[in-house]
């Protein structure tokens, strides 16, 4: 799989290159600013981009905006955001686009190398990889929306769904039956006014798209 990396810190950028190369990825370009990121994405059309949110020159949201701009020209381009920050406005815009894989991980919450590599592969294959803290912050911004109707358990299930986990995986994580998970998911979609779906990627993006409305 071909990867473009956008990270302004030289040591971390080099570390990502070495890590992904060791796991069989081909890093076709690694950049340190938003302008070069957009150019690299449109030039290489990689299988996945690993992007930091805050890049030079202003260190605000250049990385995420560059990724969104590239996806506008190359629909479905898979993007995995790897950042210390949740940039809520543009995160919603990225996640509400149902074309192609998307992910949003927080650097200080990635527990293992295997977890990160799995997330990169999942996004490259068109899936989702969401940190539950990102989902929590997006949900919190919509406290007045129907998400208030969700029970604590349903919010927990929603967070695990957004991580890209299957019903079986969610059941194992919560120590409940798969049937119970299915019931929770049906309740979530009913309360959010969304039709149930067996497509893990589509169902998560549908929820996030709804929260973006």
CATH number at residue 80: 3.40.50.2300
The domain boundary residue, chosen from 83, 109, 130 = 130
10 and 99 within one domain: yes
Is pLDDT larger for residue 45 or for residue 128? 45
End-to-end CA distance of the chain: 34
Q: What 3-state class would DSSP assign to 79?
A: strand
> What pLDDT does residue 165 have?
78
pTM: 0.76
136 and 65 within one domain: no
- Rounded to whole angstroms, how far apart are CA atoms 59 and 34? 10
CB 17 within 8 A of CB 10: no
Hey, what are 119's tokens? 């997330």
Question: 26 forms bridges with which residues in the sheet?
Answer: 2
11 and 93 within one domain: yes
pLDDT in tens, 148-191: 778 889 888 887 877 667 899 999 999 999 999 999 988 888 88
The domain boundary residue, chosen from 115, 130, 145 = 130
**Quick one: average pLDDT of 198-203?**
60
98 and 1 within one domain: yes
136 and 58 within one domain: no
123 and 50 within one domain: yes
Q: Which residues contact 136 (CB under 8 A, 6 or more apart)?
A: 159
Task: Give the Cα-Cα-Cα angle 176, 170, 126 (nearest 5 degrees).
Answer: 160
70 and 52 within one domain: yes
Domain extent, residue 148, equals: 131-213
170 and 101 within one domain: no
28 and 126 within one domain: yes
159 and 77 within one domain: no
Domain count, the chain: 2
The domain boundary residue, chosen from 82, 97, 130 = 130
Percentage of the chain beyond pLDDT 70 is 85
125 and 43 within one domain: yes
CB 90 within 8 A of CB 68: yes
111 and 138 within one domain: no
């Amino acid at each position: 799989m071909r990867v473009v990396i956008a990270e302004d810190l030289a040591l971390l950028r080099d570390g990502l290159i070495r890590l992904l190369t060791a796991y069989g990825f081909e890093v076709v370009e690694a950049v340190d600013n938003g302008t070069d990121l957009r150019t690299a994405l449109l030039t290489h059309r990689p299988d996945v981009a690993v992007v930091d949110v805050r890049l030079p020159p202003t260190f605000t949201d250049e990385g995420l905006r560059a990724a969104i701009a590239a996806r506008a020209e190359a629909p479905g381009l898979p993007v995995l955001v790897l950042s210390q920050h949740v940039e809520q406005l543009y995160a919603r815009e990225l996640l509400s686009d149902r074309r192609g894989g998307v992910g949003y991980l927080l650097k200080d919450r990635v527990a293992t190398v295997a977890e990160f590599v799995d997330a990169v592969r999942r996004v490259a294959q068109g899936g989702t990889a969401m940190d539950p803290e990102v989902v929590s912050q997006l949900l919190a911004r919509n406290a007045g929306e129907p998400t208030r109707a969700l029970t604590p358990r349903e919010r927990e299930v929603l967070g695990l769904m957004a991580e890209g986990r299957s019903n079986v995986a969610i059941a194992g994580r919560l120590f409940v039956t798969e049937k119970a998970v299915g019931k929770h998911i049906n309740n979530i979609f009913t309360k959010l006014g969304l039709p149930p779906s067996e497509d893990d990627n589509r169902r998560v993006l549908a929820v996030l798209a709804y929260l973006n409305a």
